[in-house]
Amino acid sequence: MTKAGYKASVAKEEDSTRRDSRRDAEIAALKQQTLLAAALTLPVLLLAMGADMVPALHGLIARSIGIETSWAIQFVLTTIVLAFPGRAFFTKGYPALFHLGPDMNSLVALGTSAAWIFSSVVLFFPALIPENARGVYFEAAAVIVTLILFGHYLEARAKGRTGAAIRHLVGLRPKTARVEKDGQLRDVAIEEIRVGDILQLRPGESVAVDGEVIEGASNVDESMITGEPLPVEKSLGTPLTGGTINKTGTLKYRALRVGSDTVLASIIRMVEEAQGAKLPIQALADKVVAYFVPAVLTAATLTVIIWLIFGPNITFALVAGVAVLIIACPCAMGLATPTSIMVGTGRGAEMGVLFRKGDALQTLNDVKIVALDKTGTLTEGKPELTDFVTAAGCDSDAVLAGVAALEARSEHPIADAIVEGAKRRNLSLPAINSFGAVPGYGVSAEVDGKLFNAGADRYMRKLGIVIDALEETAGRLAREGKTPLYVAIDGELAAVMAVADRIKDSTPEAIRAFKAIGLKVAMLTGDNALTAAAVGRALGIDEVVAEVLPDGKVEKVEALRAAFGPIAFVGDGINDAPALASADVGIAIGTGTDVAIESADVVLMSGELTGVASAIALSHAVMRNIKQNLFWAFAYNTVLIPVAAGALYPAFGLLLSPMIAAGAMGLSSVFVVSNALSLRRFKSTPREAIQ
C-alpha cells in the first residue's frame, strides 16, 4: 500500500477529547442559532405587542410606517427565523409526520406553520378572512422558535454536564510518560508506550499504563478507580493501574497493558456502553410517546373545530390549536430516562461501581435477595492453615510435606494456605506423580510411592475412606468457623487439617446495610455445613447453602429466586461465572478473575462488599429519579393541554398564549435535565442505609 501512495497507521478508537470538542461545537452552534433568532424576533415582538404595552406606540407605528408595513416587516423577519434558525424543526418534523411517525419537531412545525400561514393570508389575501378576525400572529411563530431553541441550548449545556464522569476518567490519563530506552530516560507520548517498556514514576505523577513494579516502594492513591480513599502500598511485584497517582516514593515499573487494554480504558468503555443503554422503563415511555403525539394532533384539531363552532372567531380557534401543539411537545419525556442513566452510571464509576450493562440499573432496583459467595467475597480470600492433627502412628511433618507437595499443583486458595503452612515449618516438598483433581471434592497424587488424597469429607466418603477417628475433631474445627479437610494415605485416614479465611472488615457493615434496605441475604459455599453455619451465624445471614459444588450454584441461585424473587449474586472466582450469568443481576468483585468480571452485570472495582450496598442504593436513586422525571413530563402535559385548549376560557376568559406555551414547554425539559443532574450529588453509603 505504501508503494501505491497510501500510508498505513494503527486504527485508534475515537478520542474522547474529540467527542467533547464536537459536543462543544454543537452547543456553540445552538447558541448562535438562539441569538440570531432572538435578534430577529425582538423587533417582531416590539412591532406586534409594543402597542399593548405602550398604547401611544400603536399610533406612532400607524402614522410612521402603517399597520400593513409593520405586518410586512414582521413577515420578513419571522420568515427568516423559521427558514434559518428554525429550519431543523421543519426538515425533521414534516418528514416524520409524512411517514406516520410524528415527533416533537412535528408539533413545533405544525404550530408555527399554522401561525405563519394564517398571518400571511391576512397580510396578502385579507379578503379571505372575516374583518373581525383579521390579525397577524407572526410574533407567536418567531417567539415559539426562539424559546424552543433557547430550551434546547439549555438542555445541551446540561446534558454536556452529564458526561462529567467520562471526562474525569479520561482526564486521569497522563499525556506523556518517562520511558527508559537504551539506558536513557525520555518523555514519550502515551500512545507510543508498548508492552514490556520500562517506565519511571516520580511522586505526584499519574501511572501511565497498567504495569508491575520492578524497583522501589511507594503508596499509590487508587481512589479514582476503586472509590477507596486510603493509599495502597506498592513494592516489587505489585500491580499498578493506569490513572492512579503515586504519592511518596519513586517507582520503576514494566508496562503490561497499554492503550485500549488498560483497566482505565475498560472502565471508560463500560461506562459509555452503560450510558447508551435502554432500560425497560424507557421502552414503556417510548410506547406512550408513540401514541401521545397522534393524540395531541387529534386534540389540536378538535380544539380548532370546537372553537370555530362555539368561539368568538377563527383567530381564537387558531391560537388555541397552536397552543395545544406547542405545550404538548414531548421533549421532557424523551429526556427523562437517558439523562438519569448517564448521570447515574457516571456517578457509579466515580464510586468504583461499574454497570457493565445499563439495564442492571433497573433490574438491581427490583432485587429481593442477595446471594454471596464466601471465599474472596465475604472473606479476604487469603486462607491460612490453622490446625493440623494426625491420626495415631502418623508423622505430622511427613504427612504435611506430602499433602503440601500435591496441593502445590492446585490453583485453589486453600491449596496455597497448606503450602504456606509447610513453608513455615521449613519442610522440603517431595516430588509427586500422577496428580489429579476432582473439582469440589479434592486432589490426589503419588508421593514417594504412596497414594495421597486430600479434600473434604465428601471426597473421603466418595473414596470409601473411613473418617470416624478424626470426625469429632473436624466437627469442633468446623464449629469454630474453620474449614476442615482430610488427608488419606493409601486409603487410610492420616490427618485432618483446618484452614481459616478471615472475614473482611467491611462484610458485617455491608450485610447490615442489605437488611436495612429490606433485602434477604444468602451465602452459597462449598464449605461443609458446620463451617458455613458458624460463619452464617456470626454474620447474621438469613439463608446458608453449604457443600455446593461449582456446577450446582446455578441450581441453588434458581431455587433462591423461586423462593424470594429477583436475585443478585455476588462472586469473584471462575467457578462463580455460571451463577453470575444466571442471576437477575450478577455482581463481580473487581479484584476477582477476568472470567467472573466478564460474566457480571455490575463490577465492584474496590473489591469490598460495601460496594454492593452502594450499587443497590444508587439503583434505587436512579429509578426514583427517572420516575420523578416521567411523572413530571406526563403530568405536566396532561394538565396543561386542556388549559392550552381553552378549558379556562368559559369561566375566566383566559386563553393560553402560544408564546407562553413555548416557554413553559422549554422549562419542562430544563427541569427534567436539572433533576437528573442532582444524581451527581449521590453519596449513599452502607452506614447511611443502616441509619
Domain ranges within the chain, ordered by starting residue: 194-257, 384-500
* Phi, psi torsion values for 89, nearest 5 degrees: -60, -35
One DSSP character per residue, 151-208 reads HHHHHHHHHHHHTHHHHHHHHTS-SEEEEEETTEEEEEEGGG--TT-EEEE-TTPBP-
d(CA 519, CA 370): 7
pLDDT grade, residue 129 (50/70/90)? low
d(CA 485, CA 493): 11
The position carrying cell 473411613 is 466
Residue 670 identity: V
What are the residues facing 389 on neighbouring strands? 496
Query: Helices (H) and strands (E) in the chain — how many of each?
Result: 26, 22
Supply the mean pLDDT for the chain.
80
Spatial contact of 360 and 601, defined as CB atoms under 8 Å apart: yes
Q: What is the pLDDT of residue 486?
A: 94
pLDDT digits (tens, 9 = 90+) for 387-424: 999 998 899 999 999 999 988 887 777 888 899 899 99
Q: What is the pLDDT of residue 691?
A: 43
What are the residues facing 187 on neighbouring strands? 178
Cα distances (Å, whole numbers) of residue 396 to 390, 400, 469, 487, 503: 6, 6, 16, 11, 28
* Cα dihedral value 418, 423, 429, 432, nearest 10: 30
Where on the phi/psi map is residue 4: left (φ > 0), alpha (ψ -120 to 50), or beta?
alpha
Q: Cell for 208?
A: 501511565
Q: What is the pLDDT of residue 593?
A: 47
Residue 9 has pLDDT above 50, yes or no: no
Residue 491 has pLDDT above 50, yes or no: yes
Residue 53, Cβ density class (10 Å: 0-12 exposed, 13-18 middle, ≥19 buried): exposed
Q: Cell for 398?
A: 511427613
Spatial contact of 44 and 74, defined as CB atoms under 8 Å apart: yes
Residue 663 has pLDDT above 70, yes or no: no
pLDDT digits (tens, 9 = 90+) for 345-386: 888 878 888 887 767 888 899 999 999 888 778 888 788 898
User: Does the model's pTM come out above 0.75?
Assistant: no
Q: Cell for 68?
A: 400593513
d(CA 32, CA 619): 38
Q: Hey, how many other C-beta atoms are within 10 angstroms of the C-beta on 631?
A: 11
Spatial contact of 124 and 136, defined as CB atoms under 8 Å apart: no
Q: Hey, how many other C-beta atoms are within 10 angstroms of the C-beta on 235?
A: 12
Residue 513 has pLDDT above 70, yes or no: yes
* Coil, strand or helix at 139: helix
* Coil, strand or helix at 110: helix
Spatial CA neighbour of 189 closest among 197, 180, 179: 179
Spatial contact of 293 and 330, defined as CB atoms under 8 Å apart: yes
* Phi, psi torsion values for 655, nearest 5 degrees: -125, 125
d(CA 25, CA 1): 35
pLDDT digits (tens, 9 = 90+) for 229-267: 568 888 888 889 888 888 888 889 999 988 888 877 777
230-244, 408-422, 538-552, 570-584: least confidently modelled range: 570-584
Q: Cell for 233?
A: 502500598
Residue 228 has pLDDT above 70, yes or no: no
pLDDT grade, residue 497 (50/70/90)? very high
Residue of higher predicted confidence among 658 and 46:
46
Helices (H), 480-601: 507-516, 529-539, 553-564, 577-582, 594-599
* Coil, strand or helix at 310: helix
DSSP letter assigned to residue 374: I
Same fold for the domain at 194-257 and the one at 384-500?
no
8-17, 85-94, 245-254, 397-406: least confidently modelled range: 8-17
Q: Which CATH superfamily is domain 384-500 in?
A: Calcium-transporting ATPase, cytoplasmic domain N (3.40.1110.10)
Residue 567 has pLDDT above 90, yes or no: yes
Spatial contact of 462 and 496, defined as CB atoms under 8 Å apart: no
> Which sequence positions are flagged as catalytic?
373
Q: What is the pLDDT of residue 275?
A: 57
Strands 520-524 and 492-500: unpaired
CATH of region 194-257:
2.70.150.10
d(CA 340, CA 680): 10
One DSSP character per residue, 385-417 reads EEEEEEPTT--HHHHHHHHHHHHTT--SHHHHH
Q: Hey, how many other C-beta atoms are within 10 angstroms of the C-beta on 654?
A: 11
pLDDT grade, residue 10 (50/70/90)? very low
Q: What is the pLDDT of residue 330?
A: 65
Helices (H), 394-501: 396-407, 413-424, 457-463, 468-479
Spatial CA neighbour of 75 closest among 125, 33, 34: 125
DSSP letter assigned to residue 376: I
Q: What is the pLDDT of residue 495?
A: 93
Q: Cell for 370?
A: 442477595
Spatial contact of 177 and 190, defined as CB atoms under 8 Å apart: yes
Spatial CA neighbour of 26 closest among 151, 145, 153: 153
Residue 187 has pLDDT above 90, yes or no: no
Q: Hey, how many other C-beta atoms are within 10 angstroms of the C-beta on 369?
A: 23
Cα distances (Å, whole numbers) of residue 308 to 304, 316, 320, 328, 648: 6, 8, 10, 21, 17
- Mean pLDDT is highest, among 105-109, 516-520, 659-663, for 516-520
d(CA 164, CA 56): 52
DSSP letter assigned to residue 379: B
CA atoms within 13 A on the CB side of 383: 26
Residue 82 has pLDDT above 90, yes or no: yes
% the chain with pLDDT above 90:
15
Residue 270 has pLDDT above 70, yes or no: no
d(CA 163, CA 342): 7
